[in-house]
Structure formats: C-alpha cells, structure tokens
Structure 1
Amino acid sequence: MPLGVAAWLVLEIWLLTLVADAAGGLTVLLLLVAGVL
C-alpha cells in the first residue's frame, strides 16, 4: 500500500471519528457511503 493511500485512510478515519462525536452514527454512515461513491 502506498504511503499516500495509508495517510489518506488515517485522515479519513480521524475525520469520521470527529464527526461521530459531533453528529452521531447515522451521519457517519452517510459520509462513509458518500466517500466510497
């Protein structure tokens, strides 16, 4: 796995965790689906 991809995944997970603390699980799920698409 390239270092850039690994760094992007870590950043993505960190942002999702922050959003989860602020907004709740449903919003995180929607953002995760939107990120995949």
Structure 2
Amino acid sequence: ATPGAIVVAIICDRGDRYLSTGVFGEEHFSQGAGI
C-alpha cells in the first residue's frame, strides 16, 4: 500500500474522532470527508 493511502486513512479516522470532541474545526473535517 502507498504511504499516502495510509496517511489518508489515518487522517479520516482521526478527523471523525476529533470532530466529536471538537478538537478540529469544520474545515478540517470537510477536507477529510471530501477525500
């Protein structure tokens, strides 16, 4: 697997978790969800 794909998977997973706690803003979440 390409490192990029792994990074994207981690970002999407963390992005969803952080959204629940409000650590990241909507901008970060929308970027992760758009991938």
TM-score, length-scaled by structure 2: 0.57
Q: How many residues align?
A: 28
What is the root-mean-square deviation in Å for CA atoms of aligned residues? 2.4
Higher radius of gyration, 1 or 2: 1
Higher fraction of helix: 1
Moved over 4 A (4+): none
With a CA cutoff of 8 Å and minimum separation of 6, indicate the structure with the bigger relative contact order.
Answer: 2
**Unaligned stretches of 5+ in structure 2?**
29-35
Q: For each residue in 1:1-37, what CA deviation from the matched residue of structure 2 results, as whole angstroms up to 9, or x when unmatched?
A: x61000000001011101111118x7142xx2xxxxx
TM-score, length-scaled by structure 1: 0.55
**Unaligned stretches of 5+ in structure 1?**
33-37
